[in-house]
Amino acid sequence: MKEDEQLIIRSYHIHEVTYGATNKVSEDGKMTVKLDTEVLQHPLIHAISLRVIAPDEHQQYTNTIMDVIPLSVKALGRIGQGITNTMTGVYVLLTGVDTNGRQVCNGGGSDGILADTISWGKPGTPLESDYLIAFDVVLQADAWVSRAGPDAAHQACDEFCDIFREQLRYFNPSAYSEKHVFPGHQCSDAKQVVLVKEVSGQGAVYDTRLFANEPGAFAGGKSIIDMGCMPVVLTPNEYRDGIVRALD
């Protein structure tokens, strides 16, 4: 890793999410979501619905949570170095079920009242004060049992997220709420530490993707299954910048 391969993460806080005629996010912290957004048309997807969940609206039912997705994008460079723009205060919540009512999960669904099914404020989970954009996918009957069904749900949600990522990419570089700089150099005289992480790779809803086009995204990512579930070496900044996406 070279000295100049530092990672800069600029956060832009979103304090208001409402329904609107267009999908739009602005540097003043306001976001609108278009209910009838057209995304991926896929033979394994029966229906898709969107809804905004405000911080005081957690006493409502959702289907099983397939992913909690931060909205981040590279403003400069590749994942693990350069500049990343990310939103705080809002996450996309991907949920799924099939037309038989079978939750898109394996051995422990998280469907139920949202207030009870999320462990709030933990690494990878939203704060209770965050807005959530629920992206609910209904798959065709039994489509959850193979990789193609869950992948279609993730792909459709990723296309929706891309609408906001492209706007976020060109936010004013001085209008951020927070800025964090992570050096990219290694200290040759320090102890070298390797973190070993086991990830899911059994198939269907158990999968992990790496090396996507954008931080925490789906498009461009490679399945750990397709890589033979072999070891992959990543830098701390690549991991920090969202190069791994768990699909389970």
Domain count, the chain: 1
226 located within any domain: no
Q: What is the pLDDT of residue 203?
A: 78
Q: What is the pLDDT of residue 173?
A: 97
247 located within any domain: no
Rounded CA separation 137/120 (Å): 23
Q: What is the pLDDT of residue 3?
A: 52
What domain range includes position 132?
A: 7-186
- Give the pTM: 0.93
For residues 28-53, b (16+ Cβ closer than 10 Å) or e, as one string? ebebbbeeeeebbebebbeebebbbb
Q: What is the pLDDT of residue 1?
A: 47
Per-residue pLDDT tens listing for the chain (248 residues) = 455 689 999 999 999 999 999 999 999 999 999 999 888 889 999 999 999 999 999 999 999 999 999 999 999 999 999 999 999 999 999 999 999 999 999 777 899 999 999 999 999 899 999 999 999 999 999 999 999 999 999 999 999 999 999 999 999 999 999 999 999 877 788 888 888 888 888 877 789 999 999 999 999 999 999 999 999 999 999 999 999 999 87
What does the DSSP 8-state code read for residue 3? T
207 located within any domain: no
230 located within any domain: no
25 located within any domain: yes
228 located within any domain: no
138 located within any domain: yes
Rounded CA separation 24/88 (Å): 15
Q: What is the pLDDT of residue 106?
A: 76
Q: What is the pLDDT of residue 4?
A: 62
What does the DSSP 8-state code read for residue 176? -
1 located within any domain: no
